[in-house]
Amino acid sequence: MPVLEQPSDVLRQFCHGDLEAFEALFRRHQSEVYGWIVRIVRDPATAEDLTIETFWRIHRAHARFDPVRTFGPWVRRIATNAALDHLKTARYETDLPDDLASPPSPDPGISDELRRKTARAFHRLPPKLRVAATLALIEEQPYKEIAEALGISSGAVKLRVFRAVRFLRKELKRQGIEP
Amino acid sequence: MNNHDQERIAHLLKESLPPIGTRVGAELRRDLWPAMLKRLEAPPTAVPWFDWALLAAVAAWLVFFPGAIPVLLYHL
């Protein structure tokens, strides 16, 4: 079996549908793809399934990939779309666990009730806004990186974050909280 | 709404839904290649016969009643 060491060789062979090259790319990028997806969907088991779904889409699209381009951003775009598709088809308002995860050093000024209501409002966000809010406000990813992953401009990401914040404020007010 | 509002909401979100990097499960804990291989080797899912029948029925309906196209588009 030939040894696939040079990334460009691997990409060229991947474009021709070589399974060994695909495996090399999978092993090299699976952790990174999982890490990105789990930030969006916030559930390890779902993120594992979506990592496989992402690479399934990558495998199907191998002939369309231009080996001159970098593989990472293309993969991240596909991973983001897979996560977004999942959020669109998942239940609009997921059941919240009884015990929400607490931050390492929780703010004593924020009650459990407020945390619960905020989480509930967050789960009501439309998927596109939820992804933007998750990546920008919770995970604090750079706008440029989010824009590349979503295939939109940085300005469009800022607009989605703005709309998400406005939605959350309205939703919290509806629950009797003045944020 | 200003930057302060956005910072306040961001703080509330991080308190309610902590960044995943601080939680268990942030790192991939197993090799997914065996599962990927299983997915690659799975036979393609066939479209059930009743889906084709339904599609044929809709196509026939649209051919005989083209006036129904706007109604169908409205409901999609």
Tens of pLDDT along A142-171? 999 999 999 999 999 999 999 999 999 999
% of chain B exceeding 70 in pLDDT: 92
Whether the per-residue pLDDT at A96 is higher than 60: the answer is: no
Mean pLDDT of chain A: 87
Other residues' Cβ atoms within 10 Å of the Cβ of residue A46: 17
Does residue A103 form part of some domain? no
Whether the per-residue pLDDT at A98 is higher than 80: the answer is: no
Q: How far is CA B11 from CA A17, A113, A152, A157, B5, in A?
A: 46, 15, 26, 19, 10
d(CA B55, CA B47): 11
Contact B15 A103 (CB under 8 A): yes
Whether the per-residue pLDDT at B5 is higher than 70: the answer is: yes
Instruction: Decide which of A109 and A176 is more confident.
Output: A176
d(CA A137, CA A150): 16
Residues A29 and A71 in one domain: yes
d(CA B54, CA B6): 49
Residues A85 and A119 in one domain: no
Residue of B nearest to A107 (CA): B15
Instruction: Spell out the long-range contacts of A72-75 with Cβ–Cβ below 8 A and sequence spacing 24 or more.
Output: A72/A29, A72/A32, A73/A148, A73/A149, A75/A29, A75/A32, A75/A33
Contact B12 A118 (CB under 8 A): yes
What pTM value is reported for the model?
0.79
- E strand or H helix that includes residue A175: none
Does residue A14 form part of some domain? yes
Domain boundary among A28, A57, A89: A89
Residues A38 and A83 in one domain: yes
Does residue A94 form part of some domain? no
Residues A66 and A139 in one domain: no
Indicate which CATH number applies to the domain containing A29.
1.10.1740.10
Indicate which CATH number applies to the domain containing A144.
1.10.10.10
CB-based contact A19:B39 (threshold 8 Å) = no
Does residue A20 form part of some domain? yes
Residues A17 and A65 in one domain: yes
Q: How far is CA A113 from CA A98, A154, A168, in A?
A: 11, 34, 16
Q: Which residues of B touch A100 (CB under 8 A)?
A: 16-17
Q: What band does B24 get if pLDDT is binned at 50, 70 and 90? A: low
d(CA A9, CA A3): 10
Residues A128 and A80 in one domain: no
Residues A81 and A116 in one domain: no
Whether the per-residue pLDDT at A6 is higher than 70: the answer is: no
pLDDT at position B42 is: 86
- Pick from A157, A172, A147, A155: which is nearest to B11 by CA? A172
Residues A19 and A79 in one domain: yes
Q: Which residues of B touch A48 (CB under 8 A)?
A: 28, 30, 32, 35
A161 touches chain B (CB under 8 A): yes
The DSSP-derived string for B12-34 is HHHHHS--GGGSTTSS--S--HH
Does residue A15 form part of some domain? yes
Contact A55 B36 (CB under 8 A): yes
Q: What is the ipTM of this complex?
A: 0.78
Q: Which of B5, B7, B8, B9 to mutate to test the interface with A (most CBs of A within 10 A)?
A: B9
Q: What is the mean pLDDT of residues A10-29?
A: 92
Does residue A32 form part of some domain? yes
Does residue A47 form part of some domain? yes
Domain boundary among A58, A89, A120: A89
Residues A23 and A68 in one domain: yes
Residues A81 and A133 in one domain: no
Number of domains chain A is built from: 2
- Tokens 């990939």 belong to residue: A65
The whole domain housing A60 covers: 7-89
Secondary-structure percent of chain B, ordered helix, strand, coil, rounded to 5:
70, 0, 30
Does residue A100 form part of some domain? no
Residues A83 and A142 in one domain: no
Domain boundary among A57, A74, A89: A89
Q: What is the mean pLDDT of residues A82-95?
A: 78
d(CA A179, CA B4): 11
Whether the per-residue pLDDT at B35 is higher than 80: the answer is: yes
Q: Which of B5, B11, B12 to mutate to test the interface with A (most CBs of A within 10 A)?
A: B12
Residues A73 and A131 in one domain: no
pLDDT at position A169 is: 94
Q: What band does A1 get if pLDDT is binned at 50, 70 and 90? A: very low
Would you tell me which residues 23-82 of chain A have a C-beta closer than 8 angstroms to some C-beta of chain B? 23, 26-27, 30-31, 34-35, 38-39, 42-44, 47-48, 51-52, 55-56, 59
Contact B1 A169 (CB under 8 A): yes
pLDDT at position A3 is: 40
